[in-house]
């Protein structure tokens, strides 16, 4: 049903109400007219007319304006008959009601037509011309002969003429202005709805978290990015204080309110997500103000800086390793040649001192330590200037399975250790340097075993995800502190006795030279998890060139 059809149906209902409001008071003042056939005729006529209007709404549903004209003309005719039959001229005010309502439904021309028709019918009822219509062929009623009566009649007709057309013109202007105002209001509502939707989409699409709080710092809303960063839904923290986000401490909130005078605060902190994971967050806390500059609340804008911090740490590690690598290359070159001469000389002296037990023992110590120093120098050389990569396609899963088997039967594994392999799929091709990837395994696996002096389980996991082969080494050992974890890949930082501290630095370099990523997760007394991600590379359909 269109808007005009709905209003016409509403008008039919109002019409029934108006008829009832006219007839009922009339009967109350004239109770002897209840059985009057004329009155019964009007009641029946009004009912039939309303029913006909309802039927016409279905018949003329494609021509609502024609339906409007029919209803207004029918109502004017009903009022005319009401005035003529009951001889109550005060009912002429109902003409004004019909004209006013027509201004809402019709254009100005249509309203003037309704006003003109209303006036003609009013004149017909006043001059008794309607009687001539009911008594066809009867002479028209005569006009009053007395001047006073004639003057009164003329005045009455002129007043109604001015009143009908005045109401028609005035109500048409008012209806037009009301329609324009309604249209402008509708447009503003649409614009407001669009802007509200746009602002909502912007907030939902933000990559940064956004918390809006009231003046008492009670949380009102949290956007979608904020839910993902904090690991909690808006419903979980709505109504809580800003401190409950885990971003702000009570001390920071007090400093924001009092010490800084409520100006914008920017800071970084560590926050525990809803799932228990600790992340690094950078945030901005500022006021929420209205258009007049009045304070309405507080805004907390924050981002997860964990990946950025990790990348920053990787860059620092690369810079340190580059500088140390240059130093190690020079040191190894300068120490290597004298060390070879010392080792050879000591071996010659050892042969001449066989008869002197104490001096022979000292010579053996010198020879042993020179060999250990030689191994350290070679490790320096491998770190500072690794061998050229020999890229080939090989089955890394098969290589890991064979290395795990060799490790299980090596002296590094004691009865208190358990080794578990979780390689899915069991065969996976990768383009890399076979020896260097195997070196990654042995360094990380041995470190994991050394981290479990009291026993435990070492789990080696292999997966292919998003174009990378993930090697994961999990141990249940002593774990590392945050400081130890930050120094894990630094050269010459050995966590176990007897090591050079270059094994993890070499692993880091191999991974980076292969375009991979290495990640470390560890907590004291809860073990460590080191993940190496190596790009699979272009393996094509070729068979492995190296089989592990």
> Is residue 10 domain-shared with residue 72, that is, in the same domain?
yes
Its sign, for the CA torsion 78, 43, 26, 143, is positive
- Listed in sequence order, the residues at least 6 apart from 429 whose beta carbon sits closer than 8 Å to its beta carbon are 393, 394, 395, 396, 536, 539, 544
Give me the pLDDT at residue 130, please: 55
Task: Tell me the pLDDT tens digit for each residue of 506-534.
Answer: 888 889 889 999 999 998 988 999 999 99
| Residue of 295 and 42 predicted with greater confidence | 295
Question: Any bridge partners for residue 212, and if so which?
Answer: 221, 299
- Taking the C-alpha atoms of residue 58 and residue 250, their distance in angstroms, rounded to an integer, is 70
Asked whether residue 548 is assigned to any structural domain, the reply reads no
Name the percent of the chain lying above pLDDT 70. 77
Q: Is residue 25 part of a domain?
A: yes
Higher pLDDT, 543 or 503: 503
Digit-coded pLDDT (tens) for 68-88? 788 888 878 877 777 776 666
Q: Are 299 and 317 found together in one domain?
A: no
pLDDT at 365 over 80: no
What phi, psi does 531 have (nearest 5°)?
A: -115, 130
| Geometric angle at alpha carbon 231, from 218 and 302, rounded to 5° | 60
Q: Mark whether 400 and 529 lie in a shared domain.
A: yes
| Domain end point (choices 304, 328, 347) | 304
Tell whether 146 and 248 lie within a shared domain.
no
Residue 79 lies in a domain: yes
Top mean-pLDDT range of 7-16, 37-46, 199-208, 487-496: 199-208
Which pLDDT score, from 0 to 100, does residue 496 have?
65
CATH of the domain at 223: 3.30.450.20
Nearest to 505 by CA among 288, 320, 306, 256: 320
Query: What pLDDT, on the 0 to 100 scale, is given for residue 461?
Result: 95
Side-chain-facing half-sphere of 23: CA atoms under 13 Å? 23
Q: Indicate whether 543 pLDDT > 50.
A: no
Q: Residue 360 belongs to what domain range?
A: 309-384
Same domain, 435 and 334: no
- Which of 258, 279, 304 corresponds to the end of one domain? 304
Question: According to the per-residue pLDDT averaged within each range, which of 185-189, 194-198, 535-539 is highest?
Answer: 185-189
Shared-domain flag, residues 490 and 366:
no
Higher pLDDT, 162 or 363: 162
In a domain, 198, yes or no: no
Burial 287-322 (b: 16+ CB within 10 A, else e): ebeeeeeeeebbbbbbbbbbeeeeeeebeebeeebe
Q: Of the candidates 274, 304, 334, which is a domain's last residue?
A: 304
Could you tell me if 227 and 137 lie in one domain? no
Confidence of residue 141 (pLDDT cuts 50, 70, 90): low
CA pair distance 87, 38, nearest whole angstrom: 12
Residue 438's pLDDT is 92
Residues 134 and 220 in one domain: no
Predicted pLDDT at 492: 63
- What mean pLDDT is predicted for residues 20-44? 70
User: CATH number, domain at 487?
Assistant: 3.30.565.10
pLDDT of residue 548: 34
Establish if 543 belongs to a structural domain.
Answer: no
My answer on whether 337 and 280 are in the same domain is no
Please, which pLDDT band fits residue 170 given cuts at 50, 70 and 90?
confident
* Whether residues 297 and 328 fall in one domain: no
Residue 438 lies in a domain: yes
Q: pTM of the prediction?
A: 0.42
Ramachandran quadrant class, 86 (left: phi over 0; alpha: psi -120 to 50; beta: rest): alpha
Is 330 in the same domain as 453?
A: no
Sequence-separated (6 or more) residues with CB below 8 Å from residue 61:
1, 5
Yes or no: say if 536 and 431 are a contact pair by the CB < 8 Å rule.
yes
Q: Do 535 and 474 contact (CB within 8 A), yes or no? A: no
Of 72-86, 136-150, 198-212, 430-444, minimum mean pLDDT range: 136-150
Residues 357-395 as b/e (b if ≥16 CB within 10 A, e otherwise) read eeebeebeebbeebeeebebbebbbbbbebeeeeeebbb
Quick: pLDDT tens for 199-251. Answer: 777 777 788 888 888 888 888 888 888 888 888 888 888 888 888 787 877 77
Q: Give me the pLDDT at residue 430, please.
A: 94
- For all residues of the chain together, what is the average pLDDT? 78
> Is 519 a domain residue?
yes
pLDDT at residue 83, as a whole number: 75
Cα–Cα distance between 421 and 442 in angstroms, integer?
14
In a domain, 460, yes or no: yes
> Quick one: average pLDDT of 256-268?
68
What pLDDT does 4 receive?
62
**Is 481 in the same domain as 510?**
yes
- Domain tally, the chain: 4
Residues 6+ apart with CB under 8 A from 378: 332
């Amino acid at each position: 049903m269109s808007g005009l059809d709905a209003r016409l149906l509403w008008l039919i209902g109002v019409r029934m109400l108006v008829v009832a409001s006219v007839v009922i008071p009339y009967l109350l003042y004239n109770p002897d007219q209840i059985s009057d056939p004329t009155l019964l005729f009007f009641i029946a006529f009004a009912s039939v007319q309303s029913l006909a209007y309802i039927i016409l709404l279905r018949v003329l549903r494609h021509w609502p304006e024609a339906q409007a004209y029919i209803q207004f003309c029918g109502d004017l005719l009903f009022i005319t008959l009401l005035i003529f039959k009951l001889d109550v001229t005060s009912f002429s005010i109902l003409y004004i009601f019909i004209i006013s309502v027509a201004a809402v439904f019709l254009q100005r021309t249509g309203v003037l037509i309704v006003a003109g028709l209303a006036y003609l019918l009013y004149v017909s009822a006043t001059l008794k011309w309607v009687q001539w219509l009911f008594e066809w062929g009867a002479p028209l009623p005569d006009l009053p002969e007395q001047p006073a009566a004639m003057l009164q009649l003329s005045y009455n007709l002129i007043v109604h003429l001015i009143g009908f057309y005045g109401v028609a013109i005035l109500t048409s202007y008012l209806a037009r202005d009301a329609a324009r105002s309604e249209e402008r209001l509708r447009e503003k509502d649409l614009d407001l709805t669009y802007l509200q939707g746009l602002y909502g989409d912007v907030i939902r699409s933000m990559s940064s978290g956004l918390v809006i709080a009231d003046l008492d710092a009670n949380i009102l809303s949290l956007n979608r990015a904020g839910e993902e960063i904090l690991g909690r839904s808006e419903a979980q923290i709505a109504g809580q204080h800003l401190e409950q986000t885990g971003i702000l401490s009570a001390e920071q909130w007090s400093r924001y309110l009092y010490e800084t005078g409520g100006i914008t605060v920017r800071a970084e902190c560590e926050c525990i997500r809803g799932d228990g994971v600790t992340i690094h967050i950078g945030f901005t806390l500022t006021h929420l103000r209205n258009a007049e500059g009045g304070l309405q609340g507080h805004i907390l804008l924050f981002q997860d800086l964990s990946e950025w911090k990790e990348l920053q740490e990787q860059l620092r590690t690369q810079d340190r390793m580059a500088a140390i690598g240059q130093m190690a290359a020079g040191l190894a070159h300068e120490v290597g040649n004298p060390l070879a001469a010392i080792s050879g000389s000591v071996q010659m002296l050892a042969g001449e001192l066989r008869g002197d037990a104490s001096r022979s023992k000292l010579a053996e110590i010198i020879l042993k330590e020179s060999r250990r120093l030689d191994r350290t120098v070679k490790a320096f050389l491998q770190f500072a200037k690794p061998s050229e990569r020999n890229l080939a396609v090989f089955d890394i899963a098969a290589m890991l399975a064979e290395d795990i088997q060799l490790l299980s039967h090596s002296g590094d594994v004691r009865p208190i250790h358990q080794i578990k392999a979780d390689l899915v799929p069991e065969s996976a091709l990768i383009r890399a340097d076979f020896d260097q990837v195997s070196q990654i395994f042995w360094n990380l696996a041995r470190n994991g075993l050394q981290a479990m002096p009291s026993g435990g389980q070492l789990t080696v996991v292999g997966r292919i995800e998003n174009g990378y082969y993930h090697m994961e080494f999990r141990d249940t050992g002593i774990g590392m502190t945050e400081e130890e974890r930050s120094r894990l890949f630094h050269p010459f930082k050995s966590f176990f006795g007897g090591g050079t501290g270059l094994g993890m630095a070499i692993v880091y370099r191999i991974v980076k030279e292969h375009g991979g990523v290495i990640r470390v997760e560890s907590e004291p007394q809860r073990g460590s998890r080191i993940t190496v991600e190596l790009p699979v590379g272009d393996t094509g359909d070729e068979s492995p060139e190296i089989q592990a």
